[in-house]
Amino acid sequence: MSRAESPIEVPSKILSRRDLEFLLYEWLAVEELSARPAFAEHGRETFDAVLDVSERVAREHFYPINKLLDEQEPQFDGEQVRTPAPLKEALEVFAQTGMLLAGQPEELGGMQLPYVVEKACFAYFSAASVAASGYAMLTLGNVNLLRAHASAQQIQTWVPPMLAGRFFGTMCLSEPQAGSSLADVATRADPAEDGSYRLFGNKMWISGGDHDLAENIVHLVLAKIPGEDGRLIAGVKGISLFIVPKFLLDDNGDPGERNDVAVAGLNHKMGFRGTTNCLLNFGEGACRPGGQAGAIGYLVGQPHQGLAIMFHMMNEARIGVGTGAVTLGYTGYLHALDYARNRPQGRPLGSRDPTEPPIAIVGHADVRRMLLAQKSYVEGGLALTLWCSRLVDDAGTAADPETRADAARLLDLLTPIAKSWPSQWCLAANDLAIQVMGGYGYTRDYNVEQFYRDNRLNPIHEGTHGIQALDLLGRKVRLDGGRALQLLEQRIAATIARGAGAGADSEWAAYGTALAGWGGRFRACLARLQRGENAARGLANATVFLEAFGHYVVAWQWLDQACCALAAIAAGSGVELAPGELDFYNGKLQAGRYFLRWELPRIGPMLDLLDGLDATALEMRDEWF
């Protein structure tokens, strides 16, 4: 279905369909994936049809309840967690329209869409209501982990009910005493005679940990199996992964006896309120399945491989967190843009006539600056997360083994960026959306203050900003002797050459030259940071490296998007572009200019700090605060 034939014509304040189409079809060339056997049944028509359904369901069922879920938080009465009825109705529609099956293989009844198309579809739901969509996203992450690592029997037992929307899933990692330090996980898994395990321990910050939205909840729980001496193995090497359902299944595969999993309480969050967040107790004895205390769990994969297996879901979740941050920033930008176009206030610069009618505030240069900054952040962030999603497809389905391996390397390198950059800069977009709307933006009568509160969780979600920075600088840039960095440099060099094709005196060639210069500085900086004697000082500044490197990557992608827009304008010369198309491409070019002129130079002071191996934070003492 072409855009002109799309039934959705009303301008959306959820996401820009035109931008999605540009990124998918013009920039990422997603239609080429249909040449691969895995996606041979699909093409532009089916991709557009699923996008249409996603936009409609998000607009009609998720967006209308977003504020309701913020105002009517889940309640725990000591026995049961209860949520507002419209939430369950929205998730039932989500399941009934087949969205849980969009990216699943045909043998499970799925549509077997490319991952990048699935994520573009799901972007609508997180933009419309990130709290409502969180339950579905967690469930799909649970499903994908089990498909990759569970036994055939476990997949047959647990995956179909989740894909049908009957069961929902979670991931249970953190503990009250350990937080993000998974080496200190203390939940214990004692082997039982029937091959199952009995779990005892506590898990904190469990999104979707309990609710009344599904027949059952399938928890994926990190725990340690005791050694021969009865003691837990220290560190991450002792961690295993277990399926621990809220209800055990009867002989028909339906929920039966209550497992020994109890809600100790709900965490009351600043935002993201509609997604329950729980402290769970495993094995406290409130329920005694089979007459014994201990939550019954089933080992996934091999003992002591739990953390490696869980990273399958964690990495998917990190891209999901980045996408959620983008969509919250994006919908905030569209709300602010709509307000700026319709709010009359003030008069043109230089006007001295008080009787002259006020103009819409979008006519004021500083408002346009704030809107342009938002546009550059959210469209840049969406490009980044969809590009990483396309890498997932390439890593799994490209014909050439080396292409698959290279895509996996790039994805490994950029996952911390895909999580953290949007979490920082699309939150900044939400901040600017409030500023554009002034006092109204700071009130609960308008949506943008909620978007900011919801988005503030994302720099924390799935590993804090600092943890992602340590992962990037301490591990990812070193993998395979820096092979992923070399691959990234090749991609950036190709874009720089493409920009140079616009002419040696072109501004885009100049931006490419600047980008190449920053690349040289990064190489020199990394060589210095990776020297053994500099390691501690380097890691003390890992967050600075993450922020600088993220801006460098997004600047490259803005140059690449600009080259794509220039090519589209050139291809349309001599023929009349559809109404609004030239405006769209010029908007892309202006957002690219803004990022390359205003944002890319921000990394200079950051690299200066890194080059100097600054030790200010490292040398600070507790008693000096």
The catalytic residues are 462
Q: How far is CA 46 from CA 17, 34, 50, in A?
A: 15, 11, 6
Residue 279, SS3 per DSSP: strand
Residue 224 per-residue DSSP state? E
**Number of H-type helices and E-type strands within the chain:** 19, 12
Q: How distant is the alpha carbon of residue 623 from its chain centre?
A: 38
Q: How far apart are CA 334 and CA 153, in angstroms?
A: 46
How many CB atoms sit inside 10 A of residue 35's CB? 10
Longest dimension (CA), the chain: 88
Note whether 162 and 168 are within 8 A (CB).
yes
Using CB atoms within 10 Å of the CB of residue 625, give its burial: 0 to 12 exposed, 13 to 18 middle, 19+ buried: exposed
Q: How far is CA 241 from CA 6, 33, 200, in A?
A: 45, 34, 14
Phi, psi of 111 (to 5 degrees): -85, -15
Q: How many residues comprise the chain?
A: 625
Residue 27 per-residue DSSP state? I
Residue 463, SS3 per DSSP: coil
Q: How far apart are CA 314 and CA 304, in angstroms?
A: 17
C-alpha atoms less than 13 angstroms from C-alpha of 149 in its C-beta half-sphere: 26
Place of tokens 């193995």: 233
Nearest to 201 by CA among 186, 184, 179: 186
Q: Which amino acid is at 140?
A: L
Note whether 544 and 466 are within 8 A (CB).
no
Nearest to 419 by CA among 351, 319, 310: 319
